[in-house]
Amino acid sequence: MQVFKFGGASVKDAESVINVGTILRKFADQKTVVVVSAMGKTTNKLEELVKAYYFKTPQLLNAFEEVKNYHFSLLNKLIPEKENPIYNELENVFVELLWAIEEEPAFSFNHHYDQIVSLGEILSTKIISAYLNYIHVSNQWIDVRGIIQTDNSYREGKVNYELSETLAQTQLLPLVIKNKLIVTQGFIGGTSENYTTTLGREGSDYTASLLAFFLNAEKVIIWKDVPGVLNADPKYFKNTKKIKELTYHDAIELTYYGASVIHPKTIKPLQNKSIPLFVKSFISAAEEGTVIKESDQRLNITSYIFKTDQILISIQPKDFSFIAEDNLSIIFSLLSKNGVKVNMMQNSAISFSICIDNDDFKIEPLLESLNDQFKVLYNTEVQLMTIRNYNDEIVAKLSEGKIILMEQRSRNTHQMIIKSE
Ligand code: ASP
Ligand code: MG
């Protein structure tokens, strides 16, 4: 048994879905669970929609129409016959969404976010499952919310491993054995009260890894628009190199520092059961990608992890007290309360600096809560550059023409926060 994951870019238009169909046809008679994300940029669009709904801005109906038209026009190209039951199914999802946004918000923003944003994955999997059946790649659609159970931390659902494992073994496994090909959603889960949760942005990789763990799969394949794990993001660097083999440990380190090729939570469950993870190109499926597995071959090439749209915040106690344990403990509890992850930090006698992602859902409430006790200064539009296996020459070259706002080095890793001059 194996678990596949297809991300948003691999199903962004009809052509891409057809390509996924071509890949899956080859595995039609193997026990495969296919985890799919929302199509293209749907999740971002649905985020806009929730904001418009909750904060009552006029973009609401526009966003709704955009999401609806996008999915129907994609479907149209895949399955032109309007009598196909998928048309009704999609229509129903949109009718329910419309009802939901006509009501006054009754819960927290995050609660509504999860109920609405999760529809991206419901829509994509329904379309893909219908299309596969249409081209005679027989499969079964499964609602993953009945398997992946979480607490009610909306937008950051914490998975109940015991319960989810039992459900995967008793509900999902027999279906995999019987139907062979299963199509289900990444990124979303369900609570004991039957509400929907999400597992954090880009969380579909994590779903694939969880399902592989619960089902004791042989392997996981993440199909991407890059040939595997590269030593740098080709969006920002020329001459990138593919890494053929990577240990779990190195993969955890790379994703921890922000390599966006795999979600950071993905590796741990696989490592615990020694399930290898393959990262392969959906464009050239025959090519070997990267394999992440146990081995004593540590990564020795230089890799570059570049995080843009960062914000550097400097926090100073208003009473001019030192930055010591008591102040740090207040700061960290506010960070944790606001769900903010620190990418880099440094302290001096009277100031504590942190570099975080510029997530406008989180920054404002964080700044507000810090402002009570601290003087807060910040720098936006800064970038965080992490170099693993660095040397001075490489660092000098990369910081050329840049202002370095903060810098840290350990034996293997060099990090700097930079701003263009
Ligand atoms: N669709 C979700 C997102 O864009 C989950 C994922 O793509 O992994 O964040
Ligand atoms: Mg996505």
Which residues fall inside 5 Å of ion ligand 2, going by CB? Answer: 8, 37, 43
Neighbour tally for 259: CB within 10 Å: 23
> What is the mean predicted confidence (pLDDT) over 170-198?
96
- Tally the domains of the chain: 2
Task: Name every protein residue with a CB atom under 6 angstroms from any ligand 1 atom.
Answer: 7-8, 37-38, 43, 120, 186-187, 201-204
* Range(s) of the domain holding residue 331: 303-420
Mean pLDDT of the chain: 95
Which ligand is located closest to the Cα atom of residue 208?
1
Question: The CATH number of the domain where 389 resides is what?
Answer: 3.30.2130.10
Question: Residue 420: beta bridge partners?
Answer: 402
Q: Which residue has the higher pLDDT, 323 or 278?
A: 278
Q: Which residue's alpha carbon is at the smallest distance from atom 2 of ligand 1?
A: 202
Tell me how far apart the 2 most distant CA atoms of the chain are, in Å: 71
pLDDT band of 198, cuts 50, 70, 90: very high
Per-residue pLDDT of 143-167, as tens digits, reads 999 999 999 999 999 999 999 999 9
Shared domain for 33 and 179, answered yes or no, is: yes
Beta pairing, strands 342-347 & 374-388: unpaired
Q: Domain holding 35: CATH number?
A: 3.40.1160.10
Tell me: pLDDT of 179 over 90. Answer: no
Q: Which helix (H) or strand (E) holds 35?
A: strand 32-36
Distance 6 CA to ligand 1 centre (A): 10
Q: What is the pLDDT of residue 108?
A: 95
Q: What is the pLDDT of residue 327?
A: 92
Q: What percent of the chain stands above pLDDT 70?
A: 100
Looking at the fold, whether 307 and 213 belong to one and the same domain comes out as no
Residue 33 lies in a domain: yes
What letter would DSSP give residue 293?
A: -
Ligand with smallest separation from the Cα of 185: 1
Confidence of residue 61 (pLDDT cuts 50, 70, 90): very high
pLDDT of residue 380: 93
Q: Is the model's pLDDT at 420 over the cut of 90?
A: no
Q: Given the CA of residue 200, which atom of ligand 1 is nearest to it?
A: 9
**Which protein residue's CA is at the shortest distance from atom 7 of ligand 1?**
202
Question: How much is the pLDDT for 11?
Answer: 98
Nearest Cα neighbor of 39 from 8, 17, 1 is 8
Distance 130 CA to ligand 2 centre (A): 20
Q: What pLDDT does 74 receive?
A: 98
Q: What is the pLDDT of residues 199-246, one digit of tens each?
A: 999 999 999 999 999 999 999 999 999 999 999 999 889 999 999 999
DSSP, res 158? P
- Specify whether 324 is located in the same domain as 207: no
Answer whether residue 247 is part of any domain.
no
Whether 265 is covered by a domain: the verdict is no
335 pLDDT band (50/70/90 cuts)?
very high
Instruction: Name which of 118-132, 152-166, 213-227, 254-268 the model is least confident about.
Output: 254-268
Ligand 2 centre from 44 Cα, in Å? 8
SS3 24: helix
For position 191, what pLDDT does the model report? 98
Question: Of 217, 245, 268, at which residue does a domain stop?
Answer: 217
Mutate to test the pocket of ligand 1, among 11, 201, 206, 266 (most ligand atoms within 8 A of CB): 201
Mean pLDDT calculated for residue range 108-125: 98
Dihedral of the CA atoms 66, 20, 287, 223 (nearest 10)? 60
Which of 11, 43, 119 to mutate for ligand 1's pocket (most ligand atoms within 8 Å of CB)? 43
Q: What b/e sequence results for 343-379 when a residue is b if at least 16 CB atoms lie within 10 Å of its CB, and e otherwise?
A: bbbebeeebbbbbbbebeebbeebbebbeebbeeebb
Atom number of ligand 1 nearest to Cα 38: 1
Q: Residue 241 domain-assigned?
A: no
**Same domain (yes/no): 121, 17:** yes
Confidence check: pLDDT of 184 > 90: yes
Bridge partner list, 189? 197
Atom of ligand 1 lying closest to residue 263 CA = 8
Residue that has been written with the tokens 């801005």 in this structure:
57
Give the residue, by CA position, lying nearest to ligand 1 atom 5: 202
Domain end residue (candidates: 170, 190, 217): 217
324 shares a domain with 201 = no
Confidence at 324, pLDDT banded by 50, 70, 90: confident
Give the residue whose CA is nearest to atom 8 of ligand 1.
Answer: 202
Q: Tell me: the pLDDT tens digits for 277-297? A: 999 999 999 999 999 999 888
> Among the three residues 196, 217, 238, which one is the final residue of a domain in this structure?
217
